Amino acid sequence: MKFLELPPRFFFFTGKGGVGKTSLSCATAMHLAGQGKQVLLVSTDPASNVGQVFGQAIGNTITRIHGVPGLSALEIDPQQAAQQYRERIVGPVRGTLPDDIVNGIEEQLSGACTTEIAAFDEFTALLTDSVLTADYDHIIFDTAPTGHTIRLLQLPGAWSDFLEAGKGDISCLGPLAGLDKQRAQYKAAVQALADARRTRLVLVARAQQATLREVARTHAELAGVGLSQQYLVINGVLPPEEAAHDPLAAAICAHERAALDAIPEVLKALPRDRVALKPFNLVGLDALRQLLVTTASQAPSTHAVPVALDAPSLSELVDDIAEDGRGLVMLMGKGGVGKTTLAAAIAVELAHRGLPVHLTTSDPAAHLTETLSGALDNLTVSRIDPHIETERYRQHVLATKGAQLDAQGRALLDEDLRSPCTEEIAVFQAFSHIIREAGKKFVVMDTAPTGHTLLLLDATGAYHREIARQMAGTGLHYITPMMQLQDPRQTKVLIVTLAETTPVLEAANLQADLRRAGIEPWAWIINNSIAAATPNSPLLRQRACHELREIDAVATRHARRYAVVPLLKEEPVGVDRLLELTARPSLITERA
């Protein structure tokens, strides 16, 4: 593998969700440890699953990996990091300042922005020559999906500029003196990221046109922040010999070949590796050891794979949604599971039935317009663009609060609104507006990958608590966005997953997080099921057999209502194909 040649100290694996960053980073860490190196594997993903891959608990402390001498791992827990960060700021003033001021500081530090700053604090410490990392020859970062990673890597420059200008206030950053102590650490982190002798960035993609376009954008954005030492890994490529007697495998191979033939120009010059699709789930040490080596195909499993599933179509799931005539339908889950496609399919089916529908996304990397590739009566499409929403919010505040200020006061307000945390407020406001719109029509929302969505829900919860505090004792009726999300008559949350071990575990963890917030998921959708597509390819049949246990786990342990959508020969792009998707057989049931 080219990306493993002359390995530098720091590796970054990044790319769109679901392309296999975690599997590749774990396999790379094992490979380097197997050469006698001391290796630290770090996950910066808010929805980390490194512990699930290795089959042991890891968490927010450096932990030795059983069975792999020389390898340790760390999962940066954003919530735990945020709590420690808040305590560093509030602890010294507790008992010194009045309680109401201390409580105010704690409330101001309860938002998602503080969570991201805290995780970033831990991240930068690992990029510098600290006591914590001095004993490691290699540090490998399994980063979050693309949009989150870009923001994380841009933060060093953003915070540097922010601190240099002396901007911000306690609601965003806490006491500036505390952050100012981190100035040298941030500068060293930026230098490490930009040094090609120390840092190698591995762009992970699948042989799919949309994924390769996303990687091309990531390449340009990362080069723009100084990460020029980039390698490209095309992961999960179906071996051509599998296409011999299977129309599904032949179609997959043809699509992958066409995608690679049309690879974006900016990616052609990058050193490139190709990793074959394996017939097994990449969980456990034995599976990971086989990922980066070429092995002969295993004999096909003798377990039966269902030839056909006698089950309702996805449109029957839409039947229950359509009965209410309006409401918010939110699709949530890990990146790469197909939320965008399924959100578009559900929205198109509802609109095709004559119902007014607003299809929107909060995912920075979503491609709704490309998926739709056309227009339809009763359907409007939008996107919550963080940059646009932030600028709109800034202009609104300047036009209202700023109208009463003198020139100096307006300039100070303008500086304050350039805080990185202004985006959090702006995106939350746009999200709240869309929730209100669901009282009149259907709003189908394709959400960002799990970690981003949970941060947005954190902001929603913080707003709810503040409104409840202000309204306590007034006797006035009020409804917050969080109350609407918790009302099953107004909101249906669909958790999207794949029939694989790690995605199902992550979906179950997401469901637990939602339930802690008082939100009960309405249904699960298992997308791109090979078992439901009844393949003939030996490799695909093996993967189909592995799926059956996961589908059963969803049916019997996790979901009250669920659907299985088969892997398709043709990519469901365009209104006509999306309508076909909702009419295809799928498996749906409801437990008592």
Name the packing angle between helices 422-437 and 386-400 (round to 10°). 100
Say which of 15, 17, 20, 327 is annotated catalytic: 20
- Three-state DSSP state, 43: strand
Is 20 an annotated catalytic residue? yes
Say which of 14, 23, 25, 171 is annotated catalytic: 23
- Helix (H) or strand (E) holding 429, with range, is helix 422-437
The total number of residues written for the chain in this structure: 592
Is 195 an annotated catalytic residue? no
**Residue whose token pair is 């993609």:** 205
Tell me the CB-side half-sphere exposure of residue 492, using CA atoms within 13 A.
25
Burial class (CB in 10 A: 0-12, 13-18, 19+), 524: buried
Residues 289 and 26 sit within 8 Å (Cβ to Cβ) = no
Is 18 an annotated catalytic residue? yes
Is 474 an annotated catalytic residue? no
Cα distance between residue 492 and residue 318, in whole Å: 11
Say which of 28, 45, 334, 492 is annotated catalytic: 45
Say which of 14, 17, 21, 450 is annotated catalytic: 21
The contacts of residue 107 (CB under 8 Å, 6+ apart) are 462, 466
The contacts of residue 272 (CB under 8 Å, 6+ apart) are 2, 231, 232, 233, 234
* Sign of the dihedral through C-alpha 359, 365, 371, 374: positive
3-state per-residue secondary structure call for 121-170: HHHHHHHCCCCCCCCCCEEEEECCCHHHHHHHHHHHHHHHHHHHCCCCCH
Nearest to 81 by CA among 133, 119, 127: 119
| C-alpha to C-alpha distances, 356 to 344, 348, 362, nearest whole angstrom | 14, 10, 20
CA-based radius of gyration for the chain: 24
Is 15 an annotated catalytic residue? no
Residue numbers annotated as active site: 18, 20-23, 45, 502
